[in-house]
Structure 1
Amino acid sequence: METAEDDFDVDVEVDFIGRETDLKRIYKAWGKHRIFGIFGLRSVGKSRLVKEFLTRYKSKEDVIVNVDVKPLSNSSSLYSHICVKLGIKTEANARESERWIHHIVSELVKRSEENFILVFDNTEDYQEFKGTATRDSFLSLCSQVIKRCSNVKIILTSTTRVQFAGLGHAYFSYKVLPLKRTETKRLLRSVIWGTDLGEYEDSIVTLSEGLPLLILMIGSELTEDDGMLTPEDIVECLLTSRLKTLSREFYPKEDRVADVYKDFIDRLASVYREKLTILEYIPGTFNVDQVSQLLDAETEAIVKYDTLKPILGRHFLSYDPTTRRFNIQGILRECLQSYYTIKNLPEVRARYCKIFTAVMVNISKRLGTTEYTEAMAEFTVEHPNLQKLLTDVKYTRQDTYHFFIKIATDCTVLVDQFMAGDGEDFYQGCMRIANMYGKDRDRANVHIAVGSLYTNIKGPGTAKQGHLVRGADNYDSAIAVFEKYGKSLQLATAYQRKGWNLYSQGKNLEAVKFLKQAFDLSVSSGKEYQSILLQSLNSLGLTNTVLGRFEEAERYHFESLKRRKEIQGEDHPFVGACLNNIGIMYYLKGDSHKALKFYEEGLEIKRKSATPVISLVNSLSNTANMYSETGNSKKAHILLDEAIELLNKEKVPCRDAAALLCDTKGKVYRREGAFKFAEDMFQKAIDVRKEISDENVPYLESLVHLANINKRQGNYISCIRISNKALTIKEKAEIAMPQHPFIKECLECLVEVYKKTDDKDKCKETLEKLESELIRLEKVHLDHGNERDLLKVRTQMHEIKAELEMAPKL
């Protein structure tokens, strides 16, 4: 009689690792059921799981009959093989299936004192490729044995799921999933014993996808040739050509990943294979509606029954019942991309464009409403699909270009805030197709989008003032077109965004003019203008704050807050941002305690909502700074540490935000008198900001902070050296942000140092430079209409003038 060690298609040298939950679930069902279907993806470990289960849980009395169905060509060979395994003679006249099934069942009934476990391994061929007669005979054998032989249990393994409707509760079906991450790590470590993966372990685990075959092949690559390939080498190879790396010709065909999974895909009937290849065009998960549209099916019910159910039953798709979305397993995607082509690709692209443009527009519209959280959750799910949509602009034809123009028109906030990395190429593509196919209003809409790109993504905080100017030029081009057609949402949008661009340049008086035009167009218009109205109110509040017109700023900010709560709900992140802006207004007005109150409220709302991490980090920084200023350094550090932890969790680190937190933490330490810690934090901010650009205003700001902290510690030589470095980027910083005060602060710092070191000549020279800088700032504030800062500058000018008159006596 055969034992449990025979005929399992597994590598017996590899220890069994993981799958404890699977084993427990099967064991729990073992006493209640008599036939077990163990199904799953090719090479996911079904046979090995069954072998381990029987090794652990079969009783001493159980007789295990292992039958590898794969090499058995038909039902006759199956009959003969089972008879040999059971030690019974075949009947010469048992040619019809009913006859030989009856013979086997009768023999099992006769041996009722024995307990049998029949294990039919790799049964997918019998269900799909050996003909309907063989399939029906095999399934009938299983059914008859379970119905008539109470002393027999059956285990089937297969990539194709089978149902036994007539066996009721006797049948237990179980799907084997890829290994969990912890299990994958354990198996990987066991096959590369002695090899240190270091920082590359997590990447290798991810790229193995929990599939034992991939894990074993990766382990082989790492350990052969005395470890010539390092973990870093393996990660690079897997990222660039995983199929090729794990499918080299000197491996047996059954071990080559590409061959294993290509053969698996080839098993699909051509009609299903073609549909699966089309579905692979969707890079992320997808729902039934999207499948129906992409395949141009008649109804969702038909696509479920005729396409998804058969493919899902053969384990080419996974399905999440919670989200009701499907996905194609990663290694199968790579095979589909490498070996199969979409016959009607232009039509599929056109359908894809239509489907996901609608998805993107829908998400964008909901971002400014009470449905923000739901919209962001949907965006997270659809992100890879929308990313592909933006890149598909390069394939645009005349029949699809209007979809991309609609995205450029209706989805700029979504693209700018959450897809900035894809925005520039996308908008360039939009401009190209607008020039090819569009009308002047199409081109104008793209100009608005490009203007937003250069204003919001490339403009702020850099010395490249040219980006803001290019943004303004694009807005001007759009305004020139839309003004010809009278009042419109597009015109209001262009006015509002031109106003914001001018505010970003520091041209606040000009900004107010355009923002008021946007406000006037929007305030008495319909719901479609609400978003522009809210943005105009917010921008007018910020601009008037900078101008020192606090009464007007307060009026605009609180009107924005009121309307936002009505339209977007109490806990919308934009409400949090509005409260944060009110905090800024009170801070600049000199009311730190009131500023802190609004910072805290804004932060609390941002915590509740699905606000972008960068927005939350900015609020944490503002609130921490205000806690520090009002004497609560402990709480300031807690918030900053929270912000740092949030940034560390981001897949793509935001260096700007990291530098901001270092700079803010330096300010907190400085107020505490912990000057050495402050110095370290300012230096970190400088290092990061220098990497971004050593000509930008934030870099200058941190240099001035570091110079000041050296002055306060009595490190005058270092202070002078750092200050002089800051002064080398004076002109470029003035171009980038004319209204910035950091050169003034730098010169003030040097004046104090030269006074302390009794260097009268340098002191007088620096005072003269300071006076020149104040004259420059006076002109800037006059041009900008910034009465508050103008008054401060003029007051200081009088003081400097008086001091210079006294200079000979110094």
Structure 2
Amino acid sequence: MDTKNEEMEIDSKEDEFLTHVETEFIGREFDMQAIAKAWKYHRILGLFGLRSVGKSRLVHVFLSRYITDVTLLDIDLKQFGNISALYSYFCIQLGTRVVYDAHKSDWWIQHIVKELIHKNDKDFVIVFDNTEDFQEVKGTTARDLFLSLSWNIIKRCNNVKVIITSTTSVKFVAKTFFSYTLEPLTFTDSCHLLRSVAPDINFGEYEDAIVTLSDGLPLLILMIGSELKNNDEMTPCHMVQCLQTSRLKTLSDTLYPKEDRIADVYKSFIDRLALKYKEHLTVLDYIPGSFSVDECREIIDVETTEAMVKFKTIKPLLDRHVLDRDSATKRLNIQGILRECLKSYYTVKDLPKVRARYSKIFTAVMVRISSRLYTPEYTKAVAELTIEYPNLQKLLTDVEYTTQDTYHFFIKVATDCTGLVDNFMAGEGEVFYQGCMKIADMYGKEIDRANVHIAVGSFYTNVKGPRTGKQCHLEQGADNYDAALNVLEKYGKSLQLATANQRKGWNLLMQGKNLAATVFLKNAFDLSNSSGTDFQSIVLQSLNSLGITNTVLGRFDEAEKYHFEALRRRKQIQGETHPFVGACLNNIGIMYYQKGDWHKALEFYEAGLDIKRKNQTPAWSLVNSLSNTANMYSETGESAKAMQLLNEALELLNKEKLPPKESFALIYDTIGKVYRRDENLTSAEDMFQKAINIRGEISMENVTYLESLVHLADIHKRQKHYISCIKVSNKALQIKETAEKAMPQNPFVKECFECLAEVYNLSGSNDKYIETLEKLQSELIRLERVHLDHGNDRDLLKVRKEMQSVTETIQRVSYETKSR
């Protein structure tokens, strides 16, 4: 037979191997009715029983039959090794950023609860499936945190109902909680299910014995039927003998006498697999989450077509119910009980080679996702990331097993996937990068170490620095960039050298060291400008950053040159309507706004916003444009237009899978400013407080947190609530030194002293008034030094004028006080 024709025939029937008929749902009508009745009166339902008794299937069938118009979060806790992984996954599902180190306290629970409260326009059903590990195996801390999460959700989120399935019962308040024990299938239903699985088998006198020995466990019945159907040598008589000598062990095995523990049943089923299937299964178990057919082919190292793998490996495992297949995603998984059996009784043959293949497979997956994450394919990339998340977590943790043959995979992840790691896997990022640094020292060349230094620098610059608000982390980022530059500069022009210069420039920009930033950004531009297409992204990022830096410095002619060159190149490379062109237009609008040309600012804001709306622009980018344009409308007296855009931004964020929390805070702060301009002080107060709450959750040391506190203090001053104003101002000044280190040029400390001084003046507290003016004077002197260092002539002139005015005021008030 012609091999090529045979493969073509198989390919033409690609989905036929997966016409794996879903077993009919048998019985459970009484259980279904009991749960449906309880659903009307209870917020949290617990479904408990033996492992593999059918709890998960019953929940899914119940929801599909009875529950509509809800957002389902189906969370299988078996795939999470710890609270950090559960928290990260929850953030992905709810569309919020993972907050670094949040899992180290119970703060993460409040984070999840608040995100659910924010989404009160939706009704949620959260299914916590297979929760027994978090109740018993992972320790009391994990148990208490999980139960606290469940209780806080149903206590505070009126739009959420929770279903828990477990082998171990839990208790909540009776009025809210409905506990239901799912018993094994009745004898009649077990017979019905067995016959439906193996309709052509003549069970004869052995049917009753087989059904009795199955203990009414649906999964065991399915496996018995499949084995009888697919194994000609296994007769009903032999099956009875097998079941009598070994039965499957469940997670709740301590509830049974030793002779009734049924773990050996699953082991015997695995043992009866052909040797190659058994070996394949143990290798597949190395993948912690679900996997595609192609990933299956690569991990078992079969040199054949995907179609042949489907028919020669996957179909037999599916037929014997040792693999599950998700009909929606077409991904495969090993049933949880089998995974435990495999880990207990079997070892992976040639584990180092399996780890090497794993590293190769999921490095490619991670690079593929990363390359699309900040493109118009963002939504698809995030969807794939959600599915592959546990597998990528394992990839990062496997860095500890790196050998000389595999280290280059991890160096590639560190080099090409920093954005993905920094933004979505920050909990694993620091340990991963430490591991990369170690293996680079052991196996790599100094170029490899330089690439890792760039990745570590990005982690400290874009993750730890912004999230902690600590200047030391930005400085650590800069130190890592310097270490990379010291190596790369010896080798001459390269993409890595351009990248290190660009990222060092961005780091310095974040530190407020704008003059120094321009040096590195120009280096990056010069290295990239005449190079190939690989350098184009560095060219564009450098031009954008140079435009931003010069805008901050007040060098508007320079800023205009860089921004418009970036715009020209983006249009040439990416097309007239690419969303990044919209971002460039928005930056030009910011430049004109800072310059005081409001007409042009609004023109570019609107042009950028129009492009972003027409494309699959990431939410944070579109929200920034909506905020800027709304602020401009408000400045020009068009508050109604401003509010329309800001409401659009909130609606967008609520729909987004991964909305940055800071984006919500930005919009609330902007709404507050619109209300303030309209003298709607009560509403402004509410909005600024919302911004403070969110920014405080991110970090109480961030400059944006200080900014919103100062805005709120100003509102209290306008309301003549002087005591409240003083209280909020003092709270803001508690992070004065931190804010000045994080952003030396920030004007918010100055504005805070100005607000306090005005309050003390209005309330007649002359001593406090003079004391605050003197503190304001000191702050202006500090800003003068900063602007001198940064070469910011525009703001330097403003500060000096203010210094003169404050000095004259101090002299006048002091003279008047002495004259009394």
TM-score normalised by the chain length of structure 2: 0.67
Residue identity in the other structure for 1:496: Q
Q: What pairs up with 1:155-304 in 2 under 5 angstroms?
A: 179=61, 181-183=63-65, 205-207=127-129, 218=165, 247-250=252-255, 268-300=273-305, 301-304=307-310
In the alignment, the residues of structure 2 paired with residue 573 and residue 333 of structure 1 have an alpha-carbon distance, to the nearest angstrom, of 45
Aligned to 1:668: 674
In the alignment, the residues of structure 2 paired with residue 390 and residue 469 of structure 1 have an alpha-carbon distance, to the nearest angstrom, of 25
Taking a change above 3 Å as real, the CA distance of residues 249 and 384 of structure 1, as seen in their structure-2 partners, is closer
Shift of 1:580: 2.8
Q: Indicate conservation of the 8 Å contact 2:167/2:251, yes or no.
A: no
Shift of 1:485: 1.1
Question: Is the aligned partner of 1:448 residue 2:454?
Answer: yes
Aligned to 1:395: 401
Q: Indicate conservation of the 8 Å contact 2:672/2:683, yes or no.
A: yes
SS in 1 for 2:349: coil
In the alignment, the residues of structure 2 paired with residue 591 and residue 269 of structure 1 have an alpha-carbon distance, to the nearest angstrom, of 77
Match for residue 418 of structure 2 among 412, 428, 450: 412
Shift of 1:733: 1.8
Aligned to 2:636: 630
SS in 1 for 2:129: helix
Question: Is the aligned partner of 1:356 residue 2:238?
Answer: no
Taking a change above 3 Å as real, the CA distance of residues 337 and 659 of structure 1, as seen in their structure-2 partners, is farther
Q: Deviations over 1:592-624 (max 9, x none)?
A: 443344344444544555554444444444344
Q: Indicate conservation of the 8 Å contact 1:38/1:46, yes or no.
A: no
Q: Indicate conservation of the 8 Å contact 2:543/2:566, yes or no.
A: yes
In the alignment, the residues of structure 2 paired with residue 741 and residue 226 of structure 1 have an alpha-carbon distance, to the nearest angstrom, of 51
Taking a change above 3 Å as real, the CA distance of residues 451 and 204 of structure 1, as seen in their structure-2 partners, is closer
In the alignment, the residues of structure 1 paired with residue 777 and residue 296 of structure 2 have an alpha-carbon distance, to the nearest angstrom, of 69
Taking a change above 3 Å as real, the CA distance of residues 551 and 372 of structure 1, as seen in their structure-2 partners, is farther
In the alignment, the residues of structure 2 paired with residue 384 and residue 39 of structure 1 have an alpha-carbon distance, to the nearest angstrom, of 28
SS in 2 for 1:205: strand
In the alignment, the residues of structure 1 paired with residue 180 and residue 682 of structure 2 have an alpha-carbon distance, to the nearest angstrom, of 42
Taking a change above 3 Å as real, the CA distance of residues 517 and 264 of structure 1, as seen in their structure-2 partners, is same
Q: Indicate conservation of the 8 Å contact 1:185/1:205, yes or no.
A: no
Q: Indicate conservation of the 8 Å contact 2:362/2:395, yes or no.
A: yes
Question: Is the aligned partner of 1:768 residue 2:768?
Answer: no
Q: Indicate conservation of the 8 Å contact 1:222/1:229, yes or no.
A: no
Question: Is the aligned partner of 1:498 residue 2:504?
Answer: yes
In the alignment, the residues of structure 2 paired with residue 496 and residue 203 of structure 1 have an alpha-carbon distance, to the nearest angstrom, of 45
Q: Indicate conservation of the 8 Å contact 1:459/1:467, yes or no.
A: yes
In the alignment, the residues of structure 1 paired with residue 498 and residue 323 of structure 2 have an alpha-carbon distance, to the nearest angstrom, of 47
Match for residue 580 of structure 1 among 570, 583, 586: 586
Q: What pairs up with 1:734-753 in 2 under 5 angstroms?
A: 734-753=740-759
Match for residue 40 of structure 1 among 14, 22, 25: 22
Q: Indicate conservation of the 8 Å contact 1:666/1:681, yes or no.
A: yes
Shift of 1:548: 1.1
Shift of 1:181: 3.2
Worse overlay, 601-610 or 549-558: 601-610
Residue identity in the other structure for 1:472: A
Q: Deviations over 1:534-568 (max 9, x none)?
A: 11111111111111112221221222233233334
| Aligned-residue RMSD, C-alpha | 4.2
Shift of 1:523: 0.1
Shift of 1:208: 6.4
Q: Indicate conservation of the 8 Å contact 2:582/2:611, yes or no.
A: yes
In the alignment, the residues of structure 1 paired with residue 249 and residue 607 of structure 2 have an alpha-carbon distance, to the nearest angstrom, of 55
Q: What pairs up with 1:84-123 in 2 under 5 angstroms?
A: none
Shift of 1:579: 3.0
Shift of 1:479: 0.5
Taking a change above 3 Å as real, the CA distance of residues 693 and 298 of structure 1, as seen in their structure-2 partners, is closer
In the alignment, the residues of structure 2 paired with residue 224 and residue 722 of structure 1 have an alpha-carbon distance, to the nearest angstrom, of 42
Worse overlay, 319-328 or 253-262: 253-262
Which structure has the larger Rg over C-alpha atoms? 1
Q: Indicate conservation of the 8 Å contact 2:773/2:806, yes or no.
A: yes
In the alignment, the residues of structure 1 paired with residue 536 and residue 550 of structure 2 have an alpha-carbon distance, to the nearest angstrom, of 21
Shift of 1:453: 0.6
In the alignment, the residues of structure 2 paired with residue 447 and residue 312 of structure 1 have an alpha-carbon distance, to the nearest angstrom, of 45
In the alignment, the residues of structure 2 paired with residue 769 and residue 718 of structure 1 have an alpha-carbon distance, to the nearest angstrom, of 20
SS in 2 for 1:744: helix
SS in 2 for 1:397: coil
Shift of 1:255: 12
Taking only the aligned residue pairs, the percentage that are identical comes to 65
Q: Deviations over 1:667-696 (max 9, x none)?
A: 222122221122222233333433443333
Q: How many residues align?
A: 626
Shift of 1:483: 0.8
Residue identity in the other structure for 1:306: K
In the alignment, the residues of structure 1 paired with residue 173 and residue 804 of structure 2 have an alpha-carbon distance, to the nearest angstrom, of 77
Match for residue 788 of structure 1 among 786, 794, 809: 794
Aligned to 2:712: 706
Q: Indicate conservation of the 8 Å contact 1:460/1:504, yes or no.
A: no
In the alignment, the residues of structure 2 paired with residue 225 and residue 757 of structure 1 have an alpha-carbon distance, to the nearest angstrom, of 53
Q: Indicate conservation of the 8 Å contact 1:405/1:446, yes or no.
A: yes
Taking a change above 3 Å as real, the CA distance of residues 443 and 265 of structure 1, as seen in their structure-2 partners, is same
Worse overlay, 559-568 or 512-521: 559-568
In the alignment, the residues of structure 2 paired with residue 339 and residue 709 of structure 1 have an alpha-carbon distance, to the nearest angstrom, of 67
Taking a change above 3 Å as real, the CA distance of residues 424 and 636 of structure 1, as seen in their structure-2 partners, is farther
Q: What pairs up with 1:355-394 in 2 under 5 angstroms?
A: 355-365=361-371, 378-394=384-400
Match for residue 725 of structure 1 among 731, 741, 745: 731
Shift of 1:634: 3.7
Match for residue 440 of structure 2 among 426, 429, 434: 434
Question: Is the aligned partner of 1:513 residue 2:519?
Answer: yes
Q: Indicate conservation of the 8 Å contact 1:447/1:478, yes or no.
A: yes
Taking a change above 3 Å as real, the CA distance of residues 320 and 431 of structure 1, as seen in their structure-2 partners, is same
Q: Indicate conservation of the 8 Å contact 1:222/1:230, yes or no.
A: no
SS in 1 for 2:554: coil
Taking a change above 3 Å as real, the CA distance of residues 796 and 224 of structure 1, as seen in their structure-2 partners, is closer
Query: Gaps spanning 5+ residues in structure 1: where?
Result: 1-36, 53-158, 160-174, 187-197, 210-214, 235-242
SS in 2 for 1:459: helix
Q: Indicate conservation of the 8 Å contact 1:468/1:505, yes or no.
A: yes
Worse overlay, 719-728 or 777-786: 719-728
Shift of 1:753: 1.8
Q: Indicate conservation of the 8 Å contact 2:130/2:166, yes or no.
A: no
Question: Is the aligned partner of 1:525 residue 2:535?
Answer: no
Worse overlay, 367-376 or 472-481: 367-376
SS in 2 for 1:733: helix
Shift of 1:178: 5.5
Q: Indicate conservation of the 8 Å contact 1:181/1:205, yes or no.
A: no
In the alignment, the residues of structure 2 paired with residue 38 and residue 460 of structure 1 have an alpha-carbon distance, to the nearest angstrom, of 50
In the alignment, the residues of structure 1 paired with residue 653 and residue 263 of structure 2 have an alpha-carbon distance, to the nearest angstrom, of 38
Taking a change above 3 Å as real, the CA distance of residues 378 and 608 of structure 1, as seen in their structure-2 partners, is farther
Query: Gaps spanning 5+ residues in structure 2: where?
Result: 1-18, 33-53, 69-112, 118-122, 132-161, 182-247
Taking a change above 3 Å as real, the CA distance of residues 317 and 477 of structure 1, as seen in their structure-2 partners, is same
Residue identity in the other structure for 2:127: V
SS in 2 for 1:179: helix
Residue identity in the other structure for 1:546: V
Taking a change above 3 Å as real, the CA distance of residues 619 and 344 of structure 1, as seen in their structure-2 partners, is farther
TM-score normalised by the chain length of structure 1: 0.68
SS in 2 for 1:806: helix
